[in-house]
Amino acid sequence: MIKKIKYKKLNRDEEGPKKAKSINYGLAILKTILSLLVVKHHSFFPQTTKNRFILEFTKERFIHVPSFFIMSFYFLTKHLLSLNPKFLLNRFMRLLIPYVGWAFIILKINHFFNIKFHQRLKESYSDLKIQLIWGACYVEQLWFLTDLMVYTLLFILIIFIFRKHCLFILQLLLILSYINQYNRYIYNNYFKKYPEYSKRTISYFFVSIPFAVTGFTLGYYKVLDILQKHKIKTLILSVIIYNFFVDHKIFTNTGFMAYQGIELNIQCVCIIFIFSLFNSSKIKNKYLIKFLTIITNYTGGVFYLHLPIKKYFTIYFDSIRNHTFTGVIVIYLISYFICFVGMMIFRRTPLKYLFC
Phi, psi of 25 (to 5 degrees): -70, -20
Type of residue at 103: A
Give the pLDDT confidence score for residue 195 in this predicted structure. Answer: 75
* Contact (Cβ atoms closer than 8 angstroms) between residue 343 and residue 352: yes
- CA dist 41 and 50 (Å) reads 18
Give the pLDDT confidence score for residue 185 in this predicted structure. Answer: 66
* Contact (Cβ atoms closer than 8 angstroms) between residue 80 and residue 213: no
Give the pLDDT confidence score for residue 194 in this predicted structure. Answer: 72
Q: What DSSP assignment string belongs to 217-276?
A: HHHHTTHHHHHTTSHHHHHHHHHHHHHHHHH--SS---SS-TT-SHHHHHHHHHHHHHHH
- Residue 236's contacts (CB-CB under 8 Å, 6 or more residues apart) are none
What's the Rg (C-alpha) of the chain?
Answer: 21
- CA dist 219 and 75 (Å) reads 7
- Residue 176's contacts (CB-CB under 8 Å, 6 or more residues apart) are none
* Contact (Cβ atoms closer than 8 angstroms) between residue 87 and residue 79: yes
**Predicted TM-score (pTM) above 0.85:** yes
* Contact (Cβ atoms closer than 8 angstroms) between residue 150 and residue 202: no
* Contact (Cβ atoms closer than 8 angstroms) between residue 272 and residue 27: yes
Helix, strand, coil percentages in the chain from 3-state DSSP, rounded to 5: 75, 0, 25
Type of residue at 333: L
Residues of the chain below pLDDT 50: 1-3, 7-21
Give the pLDDT confidence score for residue 7 in this predicted structure. Answer: 46
In residues, how long is the chain?
A: 356
Give the pLDDT confidence score for residue 11 in this predicted structure. Answer: 43
By CB atoms closer than 10 A (0-12, 13-18, 19+), residue 48 is: middle
* Contact (Cβ atoms closer than 8 angstroms) between residue 235 and residue 277: yes
Give the pLDDT confidence score for residue 17 in this predicted structure. Answer: 37
Exposure class string for 80-116: b at 16+ Cβ within 10 A, else e: bbbebeebbeebeebbebbbbbbbebbbebbeebeee
Give the pLDDT confidence score for residue 206 in this predicted structure. Answer: 80
